[in-house]
């Protein structure tokens, strides 16, 4: 017997919205049809004419747990995701301790399993731990990175010299290397030149477009020269220069027709689509993140590139800091903005404004991220039969102003205050309602770990991961 029948929904079919019913069995999509004519099921959901799309997969969040849980933890972060229509996240390694070895991985996995209301993958850090990369890959990390080519939050950066060795090691495992591309040398030079500059946009001038362009160029070159080239994914690209270089390298790759080695993808963060340096006047230090805000022309280019397919995915780079921590001079303010809960609402509102089609939004927030990060093999990123019933319900007419007070992150502000959003009226994860439009109704710890392709199991098929029994919860 099916578990759930969803009636009065509308789904995408060949670019058009059509009336539909959705059947769910064992947490997976059983089928979608105009009408099923069945009368036995455990649960009936009346979608009330809502549009239903695959829930978002956010490939870039920093949930600050372990270590800085006053900013966010796995419960608050995952509740924020659920309320924003995200049911899968990849969490990045720059926590305290960082995920750079077995101990760091085990602490994070244990916490996430206890607290997360949504499914999650854990990324492995790459710094001076090249001898540990194979070990954390076997433990089940999703992908490597973000690999910081310049100084950023958490201090996990790597020199260009070591990057080649790391990429070669990652290439050997046929894993994915996610790159935070900013050139450290140019950043340092600009820090010096602009030492006494108090301009509101100084952070964007210390890390100009060229900073990203040089790093992307270097990274592609280093990867080509590596003993074994790795698959590369550039996180939060923010400039036309970087996107053009990546597009060129992608073209070379597809004409070479080789296997996975050297394949390149990239993503953009909502703040590089919907905000620009013009917003510094409104945001001040709240608009500080890495890579920094760009011109409004650059932001317009990024939307075009997302539409045209040059950019493959959107990810929030959710990086919460409290308002009091940001309330300091620009240079000492921490970098990062929250965004996991506003990613889908902003994207859906952009459909309303004809900036993107709904079909493209689904591709860049679910279908593509699932394939880039290897989550499709775990049932993520599609509404086809057999995939996880991870669903986002929304009313396309329900545009509301984004307000920090309505969000579920522990972070007490949003850079999108007052901007248009279309929030989900319901979110399902593996067939369970986890957000009912008013509150998170999911049990803490229901979220499942999504192991990477390198996970090693014992003879019984059980992951080899072992916990140190004595590491304590706070
Ligand atoms: Zn980053």
**Residue 92 annotated as binding site:** no
Strands 426-429 and 313-314: unpaired
Pair (278, 346) in one structural domain: yes
Q: Find the CATH number of the domain harbouring 9.
A: 2.30.40.10
Q: Is residue 165 part of a domain?
A: yes
Q: Is 317 a catalytic residue?
A: yes
pLDDT of res. 474: 44
Active-site residue, from 119, 201, 298, 317: 317
Rounded to the nearest whole angstrom, what is the distance from the C-alpha of residue 211 to the centroid of ligand 1? 14
DSSP string across 296-307: HHHHHHHHHHHH
Pair (45, 63) in one structural domain: no
Check: CB of residue 56 under 8 Å from CB of residue 346: no
Q: Is residue 115 part of a domain?
A: yes
Distant-in-sequence, close-in-space partners of 176: CB < 8 Å, separation ≥ 6: 143, 144, 145, 170, 230, 231, 232, 233, 372, 373, 374
Pair (323, 233) in one structural domain: yes
pLDDT of res. 412: 97
pLDDT tens string 91-111: 999 999 999 999 999 999 999
Q: Is residue 260 part of a domain?
A: yes
pLDDT of res. 288: 98
Check: CB of residue 408 under 8 Å from CB of residue 86: no
Tell me the backbone φ, ψ of residue 249, rounded to 5 degrees. -65, -35
CA distance 333 to 345: 27
Q: Is residue 421 part of a domain?
A: no
Peptide bond before residue 291 is cis, with ω within 30 degrees of 0: yes
**Residue 180 annotated as binding site:** yes
pLDDT of res. 78: 98
Tell me the backbone φ, ψ of residue 33, rounded to 5 degrees. -150, 170
Pair (200, 324) in one structural domain: yes
CA distance 90 to 267: 14
Q: Is residue 262 part of a domain?
A: yes
Domain boundaries, position 36: 4-49
pLDDT of res. 151: 67
**Residue 64 annotated as binding site:** yes
Pair (167, 23) in one structural domain: no
Q: Is residue 167 part of a domain?
A: yes
Q: Find the CATH number of the domain harbouring 78.
A: 3.20.20.140
Which residues on neighbouring strands pair with residue 12, listed in sequence order?
Answer: 17
* Of 323, 348, 380, the domain-final residue: 380
What domain count does the chain have? Answer: 2
Peptide bond before residue 190 is cis, with ω within 30 degrees of 0: no
**Residue 272 annotated as binding site:** no
Burial group, residue 106, by CB count within 10 angstroms (0-12, 13-18, 19+):
middle
pLDDT of res. 417: 98
**Residue 318 annotated as binding site:** no
CA distance 466 to 474: 20
Rounded to the nearest whole angstrom, what is the distance from the C-alpha of residue 460 to the centroid of ligand 1? 38
CA distances from 211 to 214, 215, 242 (A): 5, 6, 10
pLDDT of res. 466: 52
Q: Is residue 62 part of a domain?
A: yes
Distant-in-sequence, close-in-space partners of 360: CB < 8 Å, separation ≥ 6: 306, 307
Rounded to the nearest whole angstrom, what is the distance from the C-alpha of residue 469 to the centroid of ligand 1? 32
Pair (331, 364) in one structural domain: yes
The per-residue b/e assignment along 92-102, b for 16 or more CB within 10 angstroms, e otherwise, is bbbbeebbbbb
pLDDT of res. 258: 59
Rounded to the nearest whole angstrom, what is the distance from the C-alpha of residue 266 to the centroid of ligand 1? 12
**Residue 157 annotated as binding site:** no
Pair (11, 88) in one structural domain: no
Number of C-beta neighbours around residue 198 at 10 A: 9
Pair (44, 162) in one structural domain: no
* Of 326, 350, 380, the domain-final residue: 380
Pair (44, 60) in one structural domain: no
Q: Is residue 135 part of a domain?
A: yes
Rounded to the nearest whole angstrom, what is the distance from the C-alpha of residue 152 to the centroid of ligand 1? 7
Going residue by residue through the chain (474 aa), what tens digit of pLDDT does each one get? 668 999 999 999 999 999 999 999 999 999 999 999 998 899 999 999 999 999 999 999 999 999 999 999 999 999 999 999 999 999 999 999 999 999 999 999 999 999 999 999 999 999 989 999 999 999 999 999 999 987 666 667 788 889 999 999 999 999 999 999 999 999 999 999 999 999 999 999 999 999 999 999 999 999 999 999 999 999 999 999 999 999 999 888 777 665 666 689 999 999 999 999 999 999 999 999 999 999 999 999 999 999 999 999 999 999 999 999 999 999 999 999 999 999 999 999 999 999 999 999 999 999 999 999 999 999 999 999 999 999 999 999 999 999 999 999 999 999 999 999 999 999 999 999 999 999 999 999 999 999 999 999 887 777 666 554 444 444
Pair (272, 291) in one structural domain: yes
Pair (178, 326) in one structural domain: yes
Rounded to the nearest whole angstrom, what is the distance from the C-alpha of residue 235 to the centroid of ligand 1? 6
Rounded to the nearest whole angstrom, what is the distance from the C-alpha of residue 89 to the centroid of ligand 1? 15
* Of 334, 365, 380, the domain-final residue: 380
Pair (284, 305) in one structural domain: yes
């Amino acid at each position: 017997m099916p578990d759930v029948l969803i009636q009065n929904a509308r789904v995408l079919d060949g670019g058009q919205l059509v009336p539909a019913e959705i059947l769910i069995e064992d947490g997976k999509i059983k089928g979608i049809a105009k009408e099923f004519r069945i009368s036995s099921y455990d649960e009936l959901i009346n979608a009330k004419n809502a549009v239903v799309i695959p829930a978002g997969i956010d490939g870039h969040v920093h949930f600050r747990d372990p270590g800085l849980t006053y900013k966010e933890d796995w419960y608050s972060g995952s509740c924020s995701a659920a309320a924003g229509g995200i049911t899968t996240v990849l969490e990045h390694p720059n926590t305290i301790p960082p995920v750079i070895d077995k101990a760091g991985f085990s602490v994070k996995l244990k916490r996430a399993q206890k607290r997360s209301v949504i499914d999650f993958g854990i990324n492995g850090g790459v710094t001076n731990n090249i001898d540990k990369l194979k070990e954390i890959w076997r433990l089940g990390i999703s992908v490597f990175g973000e690999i910081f080519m310049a100084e950023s939050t958490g201090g996990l950066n790597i020199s260009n010299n070591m990057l080649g060795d790391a990429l070669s090691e990652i290439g050997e495992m046929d894993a994915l290397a996610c790159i935070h591309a900013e050139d450290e040398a140019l950043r340092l030079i600009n820090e010096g030149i602009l030492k006494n500059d108090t301009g509101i946009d100084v952070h964007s001038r210390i890390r100009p477009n060229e900073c990203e362009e040089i790093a992307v160029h270097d990274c592609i070159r280093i990867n080509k020269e590596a003993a074994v080239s790795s698959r590369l994914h550039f996180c939060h690209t923010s400039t036309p220069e970087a996107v053009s270089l990546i597009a060129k390298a992608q073209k070379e790759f597809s004409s070479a027709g080789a296997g996975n080695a050297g394949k390149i993808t990239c993503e953009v963060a909502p703040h590089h689509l919907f905000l620009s340096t013009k917003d510094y006047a409104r945001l001040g230090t709240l608009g500080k993140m890495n890579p920094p805000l760009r011109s409004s022309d650059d932001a317009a280019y990024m939307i075009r590139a997302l539409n045209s397919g040059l950019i493959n995915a959107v990810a929030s780079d959710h990086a919460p800091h409290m308002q009091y921590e940001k309330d300091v001079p620009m240079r000492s303010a921490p970098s990062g903005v929250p965004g996991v809960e506003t990613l889908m609402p902003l994207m859906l509102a952009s459909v309303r404004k004809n900036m993107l089609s709904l079909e493209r939004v689904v591709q860049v927030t679910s279908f593509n991220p699932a394939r880039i990060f290897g989550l499709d093999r775990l049932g993520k990123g599609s509404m086809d039969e057999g995939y996880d019933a991870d669903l986002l319900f929304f009313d396309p007419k329900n545009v509301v102003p984004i307000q920090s007070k309505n969000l579920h992150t522990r972070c007490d502000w949003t850079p999108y205050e007052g901007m248009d959003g279309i929030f989900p009226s319901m979110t399902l994860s593996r067939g369970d309602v986890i957000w009912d439009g008013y509150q998170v109704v999911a049990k803490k710890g229901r979220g499942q770990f999504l192991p990477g392709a390198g996970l090693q199991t014992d003879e019984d098929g059980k992951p080899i991961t072992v916990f140190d029994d004595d590491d304590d919860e706070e």
